[in-house]
Amino acid sequence: MVTAINNVSVKGKQVNIVIEDGRIRSIGKATRTGKGVTVIDGTGLTALPGFIDMHVHLREPGFEYKEDIESGCAAAVRGGFTAVACMPNTKPVTDSPYLVKYILMRAAQADKCRVYPVAAITQGEKGEQLSEMKKLKDAGAVAFSDDGVPVSDSRMMKNALLYAATFGLTLIEHCEDKSLAEGGVVNEGENANLLGLPGISNAAEDAEIARNIVLSEVYDAPLHLAHVSTRGGMQLIREAKARGVKVTCETCPHYIALTDAEIAGYNTAAKVNPPLRTEKDRLAVIAAIKDGTADCIVTDHAPHSKEDKDGGMYDAPNGISGLETSYAVCYTTLVESGTITQERLSELMTYNPAAILGVECGRLEKGGLADITLVDNGAEWTVDPQKFASKGKNTPFAGKTYKGRVEYTLVGGKVVYARREEI
């Protein structure tokens, strides 16, 4: 299979990219035409390494009415993602080799993007007994997390870190002190008070970040901290990295672009965990992205049905359907504003997630894996969740206008998404 992308921008230069057998054959003046060659006119477009999201919820098995692997992968490629790592809070929990293999089988059937299963740290995500990590890794798991259920028992977390490090595995930890967060539904502060809603303080997140950093440092074991949303959390991580602690972290587009002002009118689309924070926290997250404290941007893609999200602020589940808005939100907020470069955004959305998970990513160089996203950075578009490929239409970005639109997504040189086919 041969694909030629003609007259496309790569790092500011207009080039032609020739792809053969899933890899980049050349970048320069040469091109290919003829029978069996897929030709893409890249005029006005920028070629980027395909995005990798190391924190998504594909919901299958068990919650297919919210999302399934096929619809989740369709949403991923529509958002420019060539690979996603899916969290284990399925039903049953992904804590057995059988379920890891099932997810990989369903991803192969969907035949869209690469899917990397994340298995549970503890059996059933109950925090009582470690999962069989080596068997899960052998089955295809790339990392371990109890996701929205923090490993609260410090001895269990210590054992998990040591066990995972033995096999070169990554732990992804949701940082939340449940005793401090109990009963809260939104960020603690003025906006919660105006609505009469119980809040979740920054301390609930910061306290667990601090504990996990201590464990990582004392036992010299790598640890990845999920969806960091607070200024205190980023400062703790910054200081830990300066001491040489093997800690990495991620944040999300909604913590970069939004604040807890979005909950006005009891807007359940803005209900997430950790909650949207204050403007000071948002700016601190951006500062952490700029100075290298934050390693990755992930979506924490969490699709829900309309019926579930319409349940009111107390009962509605947390989460945003984020795969199809991520690039535009990040490009507009971070690159278009001049805060970071396009290259830095690629590090956050491609190279760093791949390095943490230990998977290959697309590189725009001869011989590189041909996982490529073509974007029109000049295009403005307004978010309409009814056009999402995801089953989840739950997003606080609805009706907002951003720059940066995904036009094509290629996985292994194969076009798996083309916007022109939607027009």
Q: Does the active-site annotation cover 295?
A: no
Cα dist from 78 to 74, 82, 352, 387, whole Å: 6, 10, 21, 11
Any idea of the CA torsion for 10, 15, 16, 20, to the nearest 10 degrees? -40
Cα separation, 23 vs 48, whole angstroms: 14
- Nearest-CA neighbor of 170 among 269, 63, 250? 250
What φ, ψ does residue 198 adopt, rounded to 5°? Answer: -70, 140
User: What single string gives the DSSP state of each residue in 155-183?
Assistant: HHHHHHHHHHHHTTPEEEE----HHHHTT
Q: Is 351 helix (H, G, I), strand (E, B) or coil?
A: helix
Burial class (CB in 10 A: 0-12, 13-18, 19+), 203: middle
Inter-residue contact 154 to 245 (CB < 8 Å): no
Inter-residue contact 160 to 169 (CB < 8 Å): no
Q: Is 4 left (phi over 0), alpha (psi -120 to 50) or beta?
A: beta
User: What single string gives the DSSP state of each residue in 126-154?
Assistant: -SSSB--HHHHHHHT--EE--TTS----H
Catalytic residue among 147, 206, 295, 300: 300
Residues recognised as catalytic:
300
